[in-house]
Each structure stands twice: as C-alpha cells, then as structure tokens.
Amino acid sequence: MMPEKQALTTTSPVRGPVSGGHASNALAAGLTRALGPRKVLSSVSERLNYRYDAIQFGVTPLCVVLPESTADVVAVVRAARAAGVPIVGRGAASGLSGGAAPMVEAVVVSFTRMTRLEIDAARREARAQPGVITLKVSEAARPFGLVYPPDPASFRTSTIGGNLGENAGGPMCFKYGVTGDYVKALEFVDADGGVHTLTRDAYDLAGLLIGSEGTLGLITDATLRLSTPAPYTRTLMAHFPEVGQAAEAVSSAIAAGAVPSKLEFMDQACTNAIEDYLHLGLPRDAGALLLVDTDGDDLETVEEERDLVERACLAAGGQVRRAHGDAEAAALWQARRSVSPALGRIRPQRMNEDIVVPRSALPEVVREIRALGDASGLTLVQFGHIGDGNLHPNILFDPRRESAEAVHELAHKIALVAIRHGGVLSGEHGIGTMKRDFMRDAVDPVTLGALRDVKRALDPAGALNPGKILPDGEGMEHG
Ligand SMILES: Cc1cc2nc3c(=O)[nH]c(=O)nc-3n(C[C@H](O)[C@H](O)[C@H](O)COP(=O)(O)OP(=O)(O)OC[C@H]3O[C@@H](n4cnc5c(N)ncnc54)[C@H](O)[C@@H]3O)c2cc1C
C-alpha cells in the first residue's frame, strides 16, 4: 500500500497499488443481485477511479456502490457487514485530508446519485440528500430570496455529504458560521444498517456526526437552515509591509466591533503566485495582503463597518484600496479564488495545511512557519481565513524531485507550531489520513481515549472508514 505519509495533491495524487480479487467478485455479485447492475461498479478500470481524494491515493476498492436511496445504503452496509468488509463514504472526493480515500480494501459508497433537493421557503429550510452539490442549495434557494451561507471554495464540486463529513467552512464563516451551524436535522445509517433521524437536541448526536469524516455513520439526508442574503456589501483590499501589521489591523478592527463577512489573508509568496498567474496588479512587495467584505441590511452601517476596518488597517501601517462597484469587488476576490490554480503552476502537488491559532499568535506563527519552510528547502505559501485564525500553509512539491517524507516532516513541524501556540490541527479540512499521525501531539491521552470510546460505541467493528482520524491505524480492526 502507498505509504500514508505520502500523498498530497489537488491535481494528481501519488499512486498506490491495485487490489481486489475473489472477495471483490463475491461481494460485488451479491450487491449486484440485491441492487441491480446499474448501482454497482466492479471492473478494475471503474474501481480505480474511487481510490483517492484531492490529496491521497488509497487502496483500490473491492467494489463501488452508487446508492439512490437510504434503503440502498442500508443494503450495502448490511452486505458489507456480513462479508466483514469495511465501508468508505464518498462525495465529490475534493477532500484535502484523505477522508474519502480507502486505506484498506473496502466498499466505497459514492453518494453522487443521491441528489434530491427540496426548498421549503416558509420554513427557510433545504432538505438535501448527501450527493447534492453545495452550490446547488443556494441556487435553488435564490428564487425564494434565500441563501445557504457555508461557502467552501470548492462549492462548485463538493457535496453536502462531504461538507457534513468535514464540517466545511469558507470565507463567509467568520460571520455566518460553518456547515454544522446550518444543520437542523440529519438522517444517517449506522454501522449495523440501522436508520436514525436526529435533531439538534438531547446529546446532539447530529453534532457528533458532523465532522466525523464518515467514521461514525453514513449521512443520507440533511435538513439545512437557509437565511436571507445581505443586500449590501462593501469590499476593500489592504496591504502591509509585515504580516504582524495585518494581524494587528484585524485584531483591532474586531475589538472595535467589526464583524466582516469575509476576512482573508495572503502572504507575499501567495500574492506573487497569483500575480504571476493573472497579472491583477496586486502589490508584489507587500508582506501581507487582506481582502475584506462587510455586509448587512443597512448601507450606512455596512459602510461604517468598512470604514472602521479601513481605519484599523491604516493605523497598523497598511495601505488601503476600496472597491468601487461590483466589478471591482469581483476583480479583487478573483485573486482569492485563483489561489489553487496559481499554486498549481508552481509545483504539480501540494499539501494544504489547515491549522487554527489564536489571532494574537498569528504574526509569530506565520513567521515561524515561513522560517520552517525556508529551512526545509521546500516551497511554502500561506493564506487563510484570518478572522478565525484559520491558516492554510501550503507545501508545494514535485514528487519526482522532493520526497514525501520531507513534505510530511515539514507538515508535522507546522502542526507542532500550531499546538505550541494553543491552536488546533484542523479548522475545516478534517484530520483524515493526513493529520492522524499528529493527533497524539494535539490531543491528550485521556481525550484520545474518549474519542476511541465514541468510535467503538458507534462502530464496534471499526468498519466505517478505517484508518482515519485516530492515530496509528486505530479503528482498523474491521471484520
Ligand atoms: C480547490 C479546493 C478548495 C477547497 N476549499 C475549501 C474551503 O474553502 N473550505 C473547506 O472547508 N474545504 C475546502 N476544500 C476541501 C473540500 O472541498 C471539503 O472538505 C468538502 O467538504 C469535501 O466535500 P466532498 O463532497 O468532496 O467530500 P469527500 O472528499 O468525498 O469526502 C470528505 C469526507 O466526508 C466523508 N463523507 C462523504 N460523504 C459522506 C456521507 N454521506 N456521510 C458521511 N460521511 C461522508 C468521506 O468519507 C470523507 O471522510 C477545498 C478543496 C479543494 C480541492
């Protein structure tokens, strides 16, 4: 099997072995009989396409099932359980921590055909099956004057099931919250094939499922809260000689009462990568760049908030450019949206870290990570949702020239910086395979024990997405 420390790309994941023989045939044949041939993929060429997510190549699945209903999911779980074969849930496989990549021979349950979506405007709710593409929820809600705020940059491809699996966030989450904040109810299939409907009350079991990366149950339906979009938005870009000044501006603006709807940060290396790609006229010599939106129902208040942020940026030594009109605002945000393709031009692969640190620690954290990157000889850029202290240091590499071990070692050092400054390993991408080795550094043994107990309580055989979250292959004792 591919070394799990290897990985990491949004373009071409590192290769692992092909697998699946007799067991595959027997299980696939049984599932084909139960569900019909349209819903089961068993040829090697088909199965090969389901062994990776955006950063991790895993093991070729024994077979792939494309359920169309909760009843289909129940049938797969029961058949896999009877055969002693683990199950890996999969949405669009855009995950950045290895969550949807099978790490052992497994049945992959791909939710892409479960796409029913209903809007109940009176209740301000969307009812979505897990395969619904994130953007479709807002598109369907728009004619009713409603919106679904969680906005991962991948929203054109990611699914609601995957967003729930990772508790996805995005630029708007500082003000509007992450996926889990919009969940009113969930339906999920447990490791025995039992179907549960959960609301957000006693024990909040739905909250436990959200962000559990398919390791506790398979989500088959979600009731999501919708809200009304803010009619007014104002945009500005600020740039600073030093990262510390940008962080200071953010902290003082927030302390003064500003709650921007978007508050994004890029370091100089990231800005230059975008500038090389798009020639937008971004300030190449700036040590840090902020992109800020303020929004709301009352234009005067929105502009006052924008002015407050602007004053904080100027006071911290920054220079500010206001966007005049929607087109200029869109042009500024194009810079942020272009991070992924811009970085893809530098190296074919990248490891996207996702640490969260206290905002006050950001200047030091960014500097320490920069120094680690320089010392490693690898290419590193930093950007993120600075309002939440959520930083995405990206290690860019070419596997033909730079070793996966060196990348993993640098990622580990970055994780340790976050932990030392009172931060956490993941803000929105999850732990998956990528950060599970770091869990022992981040989580004390007693708490790790509690996580293990939760996993055992809901999945005693370790059949659901083994090899994820818990360190050192814990939870892989399926069968
Ligand atoms: C260019 C790019 C930009 C991105 N930007 C962001 C961003 O701004 N914010 C952010 O949060 N993420 C971002 N991501 C990461 C990724 O898009 C999100 O994690 C997203 O939520 C994954 O959705 P998916 O449908 O691709 O899920 P997958 O990758 O297929 O699966 C993710 C996890 O969820 C589990 N899962 C899938 N479906 C179910 C289900 N029905 N029940 C239970 N578990 C399930 C899987 O087993 C896996 O563990 C980005 C990724 C890329 C490539």
pLDDT (tens digit per residue) in 219-235 = 999 999 999 999 999 99
Confidence of residue 473 (pLDDT cuts 50, 70, 90): low
The CATH class of 347-440 is alpha beta
- What pairing do the DSSP bridges indicate for beta strands 125-128 and 107-110? unpaired
> Residue 402 carries which DSSP code?
S
Beta bridge partners of 223: 127, 185
Confidence of residue 244 (pLDDT cuts 50, 70, 90): confident
Query: pLDDT of 80-139, one tens digit each?
Result: 999 999 999 999 999 999 999 999 999 999 999 999 999 999 999 999 999 999 999 999
Give the fold, CATH level 3, of 232-340.
Alpha-Beta Plaits (3.30.70)
Distance 111 CA to ligand 1 centre (A): 12
pLDDT at 7: 39
| Cα angle 243-245-250, degrees, rounded to a multiple of 5 | 100
The architecture of the domain spanning 22-113 is 2-Layer Sandwich (3.30)
Residue 378 pLDDT > 60: yes
Beta bridge partners of 289: 239, 266
Atom index in ligand 1 nearest the CA of residue 53 equals 29
Amino acid at 273: A
Instruction: Please provide the CATH number assigned to the domain covering 117-225.
Output: 3.30.465.10
DSSP string across 147-177: B-----TTTTT-BHHHHHHHT---TTHHHH-
Distance 93 CA to ligand 1 centre (A): 6
Atom index in ligand 1 nearest the CA of residue 151 equals 8
Residue 10 pLDDT > 70: no
Query: pLDDT of 426-464, one tens digit each?
Result: 999 999 999 999 999 999 999 999 999 999 999 999 999
Query: pLDDT of 128-173, one tens digit each?
Result: 999 999 999 999 999 999 999 999 999 999 999 999 999 999 999 9
86: Cβ below 6 Å to ligand 1? Answer: no
Atom index in ligand 1 nearest the CA of residue 214 equals 44
Amino acid at 133: I
232-340 shares the fold of 22-113: no
pLDDT at 243: 87
pLDDT at 25: 80
Where are the domains positioned within the chain?
22-113, 117-225, 232-340, 347-440
Distance 476 CA to ligand 1 centre (A): 22
pLDDT at 202: 85
459: Cβ below 6 Å to ligand 1? Answer: no
Percent over 90 (pLDDT), the chain: 87
Distance 319 CA to ligand 1 centre (A): 36
Confidence of residue 283 (pLDDT cuts 50, 70, 90): very high
DSSP string across 172-185: THHHH--GGGGEEE
How many Å apart are CA 381 and CA 269, to the nearest integer?
A: 5
Query: pLDDT of 343-373, one tens digit each?
Result: 999 999 999 999 999 988 988 999 999 999 9
354: Cβ below 6 Å to ligand 1? Answer: no
91: Cβ below 6 Å to ligand 1? Answer: yes
Distance 166 CA to ligand 1 centre (A): 6
How many Å apart are CA 354 and CA 406, to the nearest integer?
A: 18
With beta carbons less than 8 A apart as the criterion, state whether 462 and 476 touch.
Answer: yes
Distance 455 CA to ligand 1 centre (A): 20
